[in-house]
Amino acid sequence: MLSMNKMRFSAILSMVLFAATVYSQKAGDNGISVSEKAKIDALINAMTLEEKVGQLSLYQADWDVTGPILNTNHLNLIKEGKAGAIFNAYTVDGVRHLQQMAVEESRLKIPLIFGYDVIHGHRTIFPIPLAQSCSWNLSAIEQTERIAAREATAEGLNWTFAPMVDISRDPRWGRVAEGAGEDTWLGCKVAAARVRGFQGTDYKAGNTLMACTKHFAAYGAPQAGREYGTVDMSMISLYEWYLPPFRACVDAGVGSLMTAFNEIAGVPSTANKWLMTDLLRKDWGFHGFVVTDYTSINEMVDHGNAENIKDAARLAFNAGVDMDMEGSAFLDYLPGLLKEKKVTLQDIDHAVRLILEAKTKLGLFDDPYRYCNKSRQEKEVMTAENLDFARKMVSESCVLLKNPDQVLPISENVRSIAIIGPLGDSKKDMLGNWTAAGNWEKCITLVEGIKSRVKDEVEVYYEKGCNTNDNDRSGFDAAVKIAEKADFVVLAMGENGWMSGEASSRSSIGIPGVQNELAEIIIKTGKPVALVLFNGRPLVITKMAALPLAILETWFGGTQAGNGIADVLFGVVNPAGKITMTFPRNEGQIPIFYNGKNTGRPLNPADSSDRYLSRYLDCPNDPLFPFGYGLSYTKFTYSNLRTTVDGNKINVAVQVANSGNRDGEEVVQLYVRDKVGSVTRPVKELKGFQKVLIKKGETKTITFNLTTDDLAFYHPDLKKYWEPGEFVVFVGTNSAETLSESITVK
């Protein structure tokens, strides 16, 4: 049977190669050589229409569930040549099994691409992406994706649905966990670093993944923060704040893009021709392919821009979608639409070409099993080196939010520690959302991390005290008992791992359940207390922050969570993370972000006599913790800000002294305000940062070199250029505490 197939395959291949020899054209700038292009042309010539639309179809396998399952027939579809790619299947054996069906049983033997949501690690799970962004360490972020790519490709995968680069100013939206926070400038740097990490310089290398930047576009701005919600905004806002990270990925060579579920101004992204064709391909020069999000073609019927799925398929395809995820809309309707002349064969062939080009670049035509290497799977997954790096990433992602009386780090003299709270010993919660192939049983909890960090003679007690999200107070007494007998209390509280991520919007973003109440009771014991916060979004912790305790924001740290957090709690690592999303005082302040506009009636916090100003009656305008905020166990003092303008260059220098008593890293942040713009400018915009190690007692001069290009902004004609005039340069430890100087740039 196999040899019959092989014979048929070689007959088809020689037809294909014959056709290839008559084709000669210069390869484009899409990384495809002349001979590769010829093979693709020949293959397209050999394909039936059904096989062509098959290449444009992506189906889930049943190893993981990441959306509503519409199709349970992927095995037959593969054999019939009606699937171009598969997602949610991994491991060498699992992938080999499916790939074998494609290359041995389908007529043209075209190999499949294997995709998966490798969002913050594959088996070794790193902190959630939002946490990683708080490290402000771009090379470390790139390295997490390098490791993720090595592990995933050792288990059959070659495509990841990441990075998610959606900017969001609304912490009610659960998917802020997957992004890099609220700032566009930083978001661009992180986005490009992730693409570089996944794809390396060549995704034919065999251990790199093709990335898929998502969700195009503005998915992070749903009304009221509700998942899958409507997006409506000005074109200037879209260009200025939401699109640049996508552009950064395209410039970094990303191989694919995913559409967003949302509409923008009445047009679902999956049907937006302007977005996918005019902007993405014509303006930005994107050469890869566009895949829909999960069934987002079918969902247009509910959006209300298509009468039925057939019409939705027409709209999506003609707008520039190349591959349909899970919905079967292309497979079922493109042939009929072609007959009715509602789509063209030329466009179908073009989309097929993009998919075949991706397969070529991944080396799948050379060897369809190149990602199915047992010895790599055994040797390269969850190595000691990967776990060490994950541990380092956990401690780099932690943000010290409060530390009254230097409660932290925990002193060496402490002889007993009580760990209290539902997240202290819960392995399952450590991975957070999008756990990929991560095994929660291998996670290190806070209890385990602390136990392995302290000396044998130190007693470590643990009580859960309560659950994350109900009203059960029956564990309070036991919790108080261990607090009373301990020298130090660590509270492990926050959201559970499933309260953020996809489909996890919350209208109240406090610490859920009765955890606040338990914390208040524990504080009454008079013991020194540090709260270790676990969460996938900024929370409203105003009440908690008013208590006399230290707060260490740790997000969801992944496989090595407990070890990395313990490193910070005991001062082995001096925390240097800075939040990349503003923490509001209450939900009424949302959306809240540091780079808002001044308004015509800005609040003067020093003068409360004027009622008619832009403010709340019941709450200050400023947040609980501003963007860029985070403390250290040492103290940094800023002085001598000097800014010089020389032609189109703006040079900034500042002195930063470590005036505390231990070495530490500081993220020195540079912001600019354009005082007068023909389009009003934000009160501050991040334009640079440096993460520097400053030894105790040392002073470093930190310099930044901007050019006038850095001052450019979008105008009503959607062109980006700068306008001469007065600017304010700010440098500081966060977006609110800065030194500043005015300059004139002509």
Interface residues with ligand NOJ (CB under 6 A) are 66-67, 117, 161, 214, 293-294, 502
Catalytic pick among 41, 166, 170, 293: 293
In DSSP terms, 646 is beta-bridged to 649
| 118, 162 contact by CB (below 8 A) | yes
> Whose Cβ is closer to ligand NOJ: residue 214's or residue 687's?
214
| 202, 208 contact by CB (below 8 A) | yes
Q: Is 166 a catalytic residue?
A: no
Listed residue (623, 601, 600, 573) closest to 736, CA to CA: 623
Q: How many angstroms separate the CA atoms of 301 and 139, rounded?
A: 43
> Whose Cβ is closer to ligand NOJ: residue 368's or residue 501's?
501
φ, ψ for residue 589 (rounded to 5)? -80, -10
| 154, 97 contact by CB (below 8 A) | no
Q: How many angstroms separate the CA atoms of 307 and 548, rounded?
A: 59
Q: How many angstroms separate the CA atoms of 254 and 244, rounded?
A: 14
| 638, 731 contact by CB (below 8 A) | yes
Q: How many angstroms separate the CA atoms of 448 and 562, rounded?
A: 6
Q: How many angstroms separate the CA atoms of 96 and 376, rounded?
A: 14
Minimum CB separation of residue 313 from ligand NOJ in Å reads 19
Minimum CB separation of residue 86 from ligand NOJ in Å reads 12
Listed residue (312, 211, 308, 323) closest to 267, CA to CA: 312
What DSSP assignment string belongs to 527-563?
--EEEEEE-SS--B-HHHHTSS-EEEE----GGGHHH
- Stated as kind and residue range, the H or E segment containing 738 is strand 738-745
Minimum CB separation of residue 88 from ligand NOJ in Å reads 7
Minimum CB separation of residue 430 from ligand NOJ in Å reads 21
φ, ψ for residue 672 (rounded to 5)? -135, 145
Q: Is the dihedral of CA 586, 589, 591, 594 positive or negative?
A: negative
Minimum CB separation of residue 258 from ligand NOJ in Å reads 6
Minimum CB separation of residue 692 from ligand NOJ in Å reads 35
**Integer angstrom CA distances of residue 377 from 260, 373, 389:** 33, 6, 19
> Whose Cβ is closer to ligand NOJ: residue 163's or residue 682's?
163
Minimum CB separation of residue 63 from ligand NOJ in Å reads 12
What is the number of the residue whose Cβ is closest to ligand NOJ?
Answer: 66
> Whose Cβ is closer to ligand NOJ: residue 373's or residue 504's?
504
- Stated as kind and residue range, the H or E segment containing 635 is none
Minimum CB separation of residue 67 from ligand NOJ in Å reads 5
Listed residue (53, 31, 34) closest to 110, CA to CA: 53
CA atoms within 13 Å, Cβ hemisphere of 293: 25
Please give the positions annotated as active site.
293
